[in-house]
Structure 1
Amino acid sequence: MRKVSLFIAMSLDGYIADSEGSVDWLTGQSEGGDNEIDTYAKFVKEVDTILMGWNTYYQVTTELSPDKWVYDDFITYVVTHRKNSDSEKIKFTNENPVELVKNLKKEKGKKIWVNGGANVIQQLVNENLIDIYYITVIPTILGSGIKLFGNRENEIKLKLVKTQSYNGMVDLVYTRR
């Protein structure tokens, strides 16, 4: 069965976007230099499917990369109630994210990357459907914004399998116990 991975960055105080929804704070403590490690390039080699919510899709296509779809090497499922036309690489669906992931896990393929947003992530975490958590902690305290995990009623125990730090950021990799 396919694995589901959350690969995301958050502020030190647990936010994935500021109170305006912006992610322009997602940088290390210094620009460029030898302190950079490309964890993204290594991670995506094991991925062929992306899952994201509408707000994440909209932010990517209007702010972060308006001229080019940056996830063209993958099949992307965008969870939305809006009516959009599918393309070869982008599938719009109003299916419940939990059911969608359960169905995708049964198909042949590489890992499924849960890309965002918070609502989609929280639904999958609540059902304990994330197999691997790749979380980069950014050296910024936002104070408010969009929380990665929100409030939970039940605990999920994780096992730390890897850490690395560079440019003030810390990568944490956990699996379910």
Structure 2
Amino acid sequence: MKTTVYIATSVDGFIARNNGGIDWLPSGGDTDGGEDYGYQEFIDSVDALVMGRNTYELALSFDSWPYGEKPVFVLSSRKIDIPDEIAKTVEYMCAPPSEVVYRLSERGFQHLYIDGGKTIQGFLSEGLIQQLIITKVPILIGSGIPLFGSLPHDVRLHHLETRQFENGLVQSQYNVIEDAA
């Protein structure tokens, strides 16, 4: 099973403000020439998304559901509300990352998009991330929700490529080196 993180951070390493706000992210569309930073190609390569409850609730607040018909698995220790219009593609799970990977692998999924701070941190801690695609937005927000937290061991990365965009965003792609533990 391949698991990949695709996420944006501020230069100081935050994925959201303390209140979960992402107003500092580029809005897309006309302000950046319609650039999608490789997102469509990436999302087309994954079978399903695994995200935490906070990321799910943020996605619900968007004008439209951003994941279309792609299966989404929401990790939470408590039940979540799933609106009828996305009930066919969204499922709640309460399990540790290793069990999530096992269950989804058994169901035939081969490439998971892992999203959300605590979810990413949990998968990294268990050695279950193979690839990181991190886009740095040229802004310092000073405090917020960090992408990375403490880890039980070093996680060594192999740099694959870095791309710079006209609006100053810098995207780096890494493979996680298997024997990092």
Residue identity matched to 1:141: L
**CA spacing shift, 1:170–1:110, aligned 2, 3 Å:** same
* Displacement over 4 Å in runs of 4+: none
Which residue identity is paired with 1:71? Y
- The residue type equivalent to 1:157 in the other structure is R
Count of matched residue positions in the alignment of Structure 1 and Structure 2: 170
CA contact (8 A) 2:162 2:170 kept: yes
Aligned to 2:159: 160
Alignment gaps of 5+ in structure 1:
none
Identity %: 31
The Cα RMSD (Å) is 2.0
Distance apart, 1:33 and its partner CA: 4.7
**Who is 1:176 aligned against?**
176
Deviation of the 1:88 alpha carbon: 1.4
The answer for the alignment partner of 1:76 in structure 2 is 72
Contact 1:160 1:172 survives alignment (8 Å):
yes
Residue pairs, 1:16-35, within 5 angstroms: 16-27=15-26, 32-34=31-33
Query: What SS class does the counterpart of residue 101 from structure 1 fall into?
Result: helix
What is the rounded CA distance, in whole Å, between the counterparts of 2:163 and 2:88 in structure 1?
A: 36
Distance of aligned partners of 1:33 and 1:135 in 2 relative to their CA distance in 1, 3 Å threshold: closer
Is the 8 Å Cα contact of residues 97 and 128 (structure 2) preserved in structure 1?
A: no
Structure 1 stretch displaced more, 104-113 or 39-48 = 104-113
Alpha-carbon spacing, 1:143–1:33, altered in 2? closer, same or farther (3 Å):
closer
Q: Match for 2:17: what amino acid?
A: D
Give the stretch that moved more between structures: 149-158 or 107-116: 107-116
Give the TM-score, by structure 1 length.
0.87
For the residue of structure 2 that corresponds to 1:32, the secondary structure is helix
Provide the C-alpha distance between the structure 2 equivalents of 1:121 and 1:100, rounded to a whole number of angstroms. Answer: 13
- Partner of 2:31: helix, strand, or coil? coil
Partner of 2:58: 59
Give, in whole Å, the separation in 1 of the partners of 2:139 and 2:109. 36
